[in-house]
Structure formats: C-alpha cells, structure tokens
Structure 1
Amino acid sequence: MEELFKGVADPVRREILSLLRLQPLNVNQINEHFGDISRQAVSKHLQLLEESGWIKIYQAGRERYGYLNKTAFYSLKEWLDAYLQWGEQSLENDHGVFLEPTAYEKGAPLTHPVMLQAMLSKDKEFDGLFYNAVRTTGIFCKPSCSANPKPDNVTFYLTRDEALKNGYRACKRCKP
C-alpha cells in the first residue's frame, strides 16, 4: 500500500495517470504533454509509476507504451472501502468522521467512541443525548458546539444536571 501512495504523491504522476486513463500512450506522447519539465524527469516519473504498480510499460519494437494497471486501482479501492462503504453513505450527512451504521442506534446506550466521534464531528443529532465537559475550562457543551476542546481534556455526561453537579458551568456559546 505504501508504494501505491508513493506513486500518486506527486501531481505530475497523477497527471500522467489521467492521461493514460483515456488510452495507452507511448513515452513520446506523454513527454509532449509536459513541455515545462525535461524528458528525463518524465521518464523518472514513469519509472516510479511502474515500480509502484500504477502502470505497466509495453515494449513494441522501439516504442514503449504506458498503460494503467487495474490491479493497483482495485487495491486502493479495497483499502478505501473500509472507510467509505462504497455507495452506502450519503455525502449530505458528511460529518468528517465515519460512524459505522451499527455503532449507534437511537435509544441504544452511548459508548465513549460514539460520543467522541459525535463531538469531533459536531453532530447535532446527538444534542441532548449527552454533554461534553472540558476539565481545563470547567465548561460543558452540546456535542455540536463550535468550541474545539482537546479530546484528552473531555469528560462526557449523559445529563445536564450531572455536569452541573460535578462543578461545570454551561457554555455561553451553545447554551446547553
């Protein structure tokens, strides 16, 4: 996986992949596209793309053709699938973190990881279900508050009264 990321780390290599997405090209055709960098630099990028598995080079007489290696793209897709759950999540509800559908069902007991993810993503759906109190400031907030406390300094309470009993005051921004 590390080699795949190394292969697409440079914008020139990503542009080469975009060119090859349309059709296989010989090395001269690829070079012509990059007028601002040397032929040797383009050749080094092609070599790195081949070594990292993104492309394959086919020798036809004196010509060398580059073409995409589907295996690399499927390897990357497999790795991403664990995070994106292809086709299952709507981008409308993108909170910047990935809560698995089974991680929380309404009415189920809240776990620390779910509360932490809800606080970090500022998820309004969790407002009123719990409160996050910041030990360093002595303030408690709704999960959707715009404050950005350090997660190590946060304690979670299921009720507003619990937070008040433990010496925290209500946030003046989110007014929990």
Structure 2
Amino acid sequence: MDELFKGVADPVRREILSLLRLQPLNVNQINEHFKEISRQAVSKHLQFLEESGWIKIYQAGRERYGYLNKAAFYALKEWLDAYLQWGERSLENDHGVFVEEAAYKQGSPLTQPVMLQAMLSKDKDFDGLFYNAVRTTGIFCKPSCFANPRPDNVTFYITREEALKNGYRACKRCKP
C-alpha cells in the first residue's frame, strides 16, 4: 500500500494517470503532454508508476505503451472502503473521525475509544449518552459541543450528575 501512495504523491504522476484513464498511450504521446519537463523526467515518472504498480508498460516493437493497472485502483478502493463503509454522512460537522458501527451498538456499554471518537467527530447521536469534562477548564460538555479540548485533558462521565459531583460546571455553549 505504501508504494501505491508514493506513486500518486507527485502531481505529474497523477496527471499521467489521468491521461491513461482515457486510453493507453505510447511514451511519445505522454511526453508531448508535458512540455515544461524533460523527456527523461517523464520517463522516470513512468518508471516510478510502473514500479509502484499503478501502470503497466507494454512493449510493441520499438514502441512502449503505458496503460492503467486496474488491480492497483481496486487495492486502493478496498483500503478506502474500510473507512467509508459506514455509508453517507453529513460532511457539515465532519471532523474526520469515524465511529465504527461494530464498535458501538445502541445500548452497549460505552468504551473510552468510542467516546473519544464521538467527541472528536462532534457526533450528535451520542448527546445524552455521556459527557466530556475538561480538567483544565473545569467545564463539562455534550459530545457535539464545538469546544475543542485536548483529548488528554478530557475525562468522560456517563451522567450529568456525575460530572457535577466531581466539581465540573456545565458548558455555556452547549448547555448539557
């Protein structure tokens, strides 16, 4: 997988992949598209793409043709699907953290990782199920609050009363 990521790390290589998406091209046709870089540089990018698995080179007489290796795209898709399998979610309040459905079923006991992920992703589905208290400020909030405490300063409580009993006061933003 590392090689696949290295292969698409460069914008020139991504451009070559875009060209080959339409049809296989010989090396001269690919070179014609890149006027601003040398022929040798394009050849090195093609070699890197081949070594990383994104393309294959087919030799036909004196001509070399580059074409996409579908297996690389499916490998990347499979890797991404592991993160995107939870279906469509609103991107408005998405903070880049996924809560895996298998990790939490409605009514199951909440674990530290699930509560942390819910807090980081500002997941409103967890409001009322637990509260996050920030040791440095003495305030507790709902998981969906827009305050951004450092995770290592947070303690989780299942009830509002528990947080109050431990000396925390309610957040004025989210009013838990």
**TM-score, length basis structure 1:** 0.92
After superposition, residues 87-126 of structure 1 pair within 5 angstroms as 89-92=87-90, 95=94, 96-126=96-126
| Partner residue in 1 for 2:160 | 160
Q: Does 1:148 align with 2:148?
A: yes
Displacement of 1:107 in angstroms is 2.3
Q: Does 1:6 align with 2:6?
A: yes
Cα distance between partner residues in 2 of 1:40 and 1:147: 52
Unaligned runs of at least 5 residues, structure 2: none
Displacement of 1:10 in angstroms is 0.4
| Partner residue in 2 for 1:128 | 128
Q: Secondary structure in 2 aligned to 1:161?
A: helix
Displacement of 1:62 in angstroms is 1.5
| Partner residue in 1 for 2:26 | 26
Displacement of 1:14 in angstroms is 0.7
After superposition, residues 30-49 of structure 1 pair within 5 angstroms as 30-49=30-49
Displacement of 1:114 in angstroms is 1.3
Q: Secondary structure in 2 aligned to 1:37?
A: coil
Q: Percent identity?
A: 85
The residue type paired with residue 91 of structure 1 is R
Cα distance between partner residues in 2 of 1:11 and 1:170: 48
Displacement of 1:2 in angstroms is 1.1
| Cα RMSD after superposing both structures | 1.5
Displacement of 1:102 in angstroms is 2.4
The residue type paired with residue 3 of structure 1 is E
Cα distance between partner residues in 1 of 2:100 and 2:143: 18
| Partner residue in 1 for 2:69 | 69
Is the contact made by 2:21 and 2:68 (CA closer than 8 Å) also made in structure 1?
yes
Displacement of 1:81 in angstroms is 2.6
The residue type paired with residue 31 of structure 2 is N
Is the contact made by 2:98 and 2:121 (CA closer than 8 Å) also made in structure 1?
no
Displacement of 1:138 in angstroms is 1.1
Displacement of 1:98 in angstroms is 1.9
Displacement of 1:104 in angstroms is 2.0
Displacement of 1:82 in angstroms is 2.0
Paired positions, count: 174
Displacement of 1:91 in angstroms is 3.4
**Deviations 1:151-172 (CA, angstroms, capped at 9, x unpaired):** 1111001111111110111112
Cα distance between partner residues in 2 of 1:78 and 1:125: 27
Displacement of 1:103 in angstroms is 2.1
